[in-house]
Structure formats: structure tokens, C-alpha cells
Amino acid sequence: MRDRAPIDKLCWIAHHSTDGCRRRRKVTNQRFSIVSTCRLALVASLMFASMTTSAGATAQGRQADVLQQSAPHEEPVRVSPASLGIDPNAKLIDSDVPVAPWRMERLADGSARLTFGNNLDAIPLSHDATHFAEGEGSSPPVTAAVLDWSCQVYTLWPIERLGSYLHAEYEIDCHNVIAHRDGRQIERDSWSGWRPYTNFAWRAWRYTVNIQSSFYALCDGGGTYNYRLRVVSQVQLSYGTVQSPSWYNGSSRHSCGTGVS
């Protein structure tokens, strides 16, 4: 076979080299397209997995919230009256006045609520009560048709010292009664039991639903004792007068001496 002319050789080499380049470029483009497609698929898969995980976590969180909200409330524990500051056997100033049925509750924030009336079944326990005690009282059954009546006594904290005074606060709400009044006294502890620090005193009869009381007693220094507030509430009804049991708030320790005793 006769040798090609120099120009023909150059053209043949150029022609076949160009085709080879084109073929290699085509294969390379195909490979790049495949790799790009795989990468896009991988990215999409990871994004879907992330979204699914996030959605699952959110759903689990919502389910946990629902379970927490729907969890049953713990029932309050019945305890002895004395552990909640009630002494049914305490000597009352007006011992001839019968004591109404009552219920004492200790609430989750540390405060207390005393309820007394003729139909405690109609008054549910506080939703945040942790402990409670109940008593039947000593008032005789009433045969006359009367409206349900009740009173509630609230206290927040034990006695505190403010400068030269011992201070305590409480509040009374009464419904369907003619009038109500409260008597109070501060007591101190001793080796022989609780003794008066102030004399017991009744306040005037009130004809409003609510009584708010802020009680002060002089603290002139002296020995250190535990002090507590005693409260008794009386109500006038169409068939007579009844009262609550003696109720005591939590005690606190101060250096205020012996008081009247």
C-alpha cells in the first residue's frame, strides 16, 4: 500500500484524534451525569431521613405532652387532724356553741384551707391539696329546710416578726349565713404545752361575705419560743349559732418572751 502524502497523514491523524476526543468526552459526560444523579439522590435521601426524624421527634414530644397533661392527679393523703393544726379537743371559749362538720386541707404551696358547713360533700377538695383531715363536729342534725352554708378560712404563712411585732394574716369567706365573726389568739410553747401569749378576743360580727384580717401583737423581746396563731370562726344561722374547731397555723420561732402567761 502506497504511503499517504504528508498532508493526507496529518488530516487522517487529526480526524481520528478528534473522534477519539469526542468519544472520550462523551463517556466522561455520561459518567459525570451518572455521578451527579447519584449525588442528588443521596442528598434527597438524607434530607428525607432528616425530615422524617424531626417529624417523629416532634410527634413523640407532642405525645409526651399529651400523656403528661392527661396524667391522673395524685389523690391527697388523709392524715390526723393534729398534723394539720386542728385540735378537736381544744377548749373553746364558747363551749356551749356546737362545732360544725369541718375539713382541713394543706395545699401544694404550703398554705392551708379550713372548710366548715352543713354539707361538705357539695364542696370538693382543692385541686392542689396534698393532705387533708375531716371531722363530724358536734352540731346536732338540722331537720328544718335550710340552704347549704359554708365558711372557708385561708392562711398563707406562719407567724412572722416585723420589727417590734408578731404578725399573722388570714382570710374568711362565708356563704348563706346571717353573720360571722372570728376570734384569735397567739400562743407560745413551753415545757408543759402551749400557753397563751395574747388573750383570746372576738372581733365584731360581720355581715359581708369576706373578712380579711391582719393581726399584730407586741414583741418586746425576752426568751425564745415557738409561736402560733389560733383562730376560731362563728356563724349565725336561722336556727342558731355554730362554730369551727380551733385552728392553728404553722409555728415559727422568735425571741418575744412569754407574753401574758
Phi, psi of 53 (to 5 degrees): -65, -45
- What mean pLDDT do residues 139-146 have? 58
101 pLDDT more than 80: yes
Instruction: Tell me what pLDDT residue 62 has.
Output: 47
160 pLDDT more than 70: yes
Instruction: Tell me what pLDDT residue 134 has.
Output: 92
Contacts of 113 (CB under 8 A, 6+ apart): 104, 105, 107, 126, 129, 152, 153, 154
* Residue 260 DSSP class: T
CA 163 to chain centre: 31
C-alpha cell of residue 162 = 416585723
Label residue 130 by pLDDT band (50, 70, 90).
very high
Nearest Cα neighbor of 155 from 202, 86, 219, 98 is 86
Alpha-carbon Rg for the chain, nearest whole angstrom, is: 42
Residue 140: which H helix or E strand, with range?
none
Any bridge partners for residue 133, and if so which?
A: 104
Residue 118: which H helix or E strand, with range?
none
25 pLDDT more than 90: no
| Ranges 43-47, 52-56, 77-81, 145-149, most confident | 77-81
Lowest mean pLDDT among 9-23, 72-86, 114-128, 238-252: 9-23
Instruction: Tell me what pLDDT residue 75 has.
Output: 86
Domains of the chain, by residue range, sit at: 1-71, 77-255
Instruction: Tell me what pLDDT residue 144 has.
Output: 52
Instruction: Tell me what pLDDT residue 90 has.
Output: 72
pLDDT digits (tens, 9 = 90+) for 204-245: 999 999 988 889 999 988 899 999 999 999 999 988 999 999
| Ranges 109-123, 139-153, 166-180, most confident | 166-180
Label residue 23 by pLDDT band (50, 70, 90).
very low
Percentage of the chain exceeding pLDDT 90 = 41
For the chain, give the mean pLDDT.
76
- What mean pLDDT do residues 47-56 have? 48
Residue 41: which H helix or E strand, with range?
helix 6-70
- What mean pLDDT do residues 155-184 have? 91
165 pLDDT more than 70: yes
Label residue 140 by pLDDT band (50, 70, 90).
low
- What mean pLDDT do residues 45-66 have? 47
66 pLDDT more than 50: no
Residue with cell 355554730: 242
Are 184 and 230 a contacting pair, CB within 8 Å?
A: yes
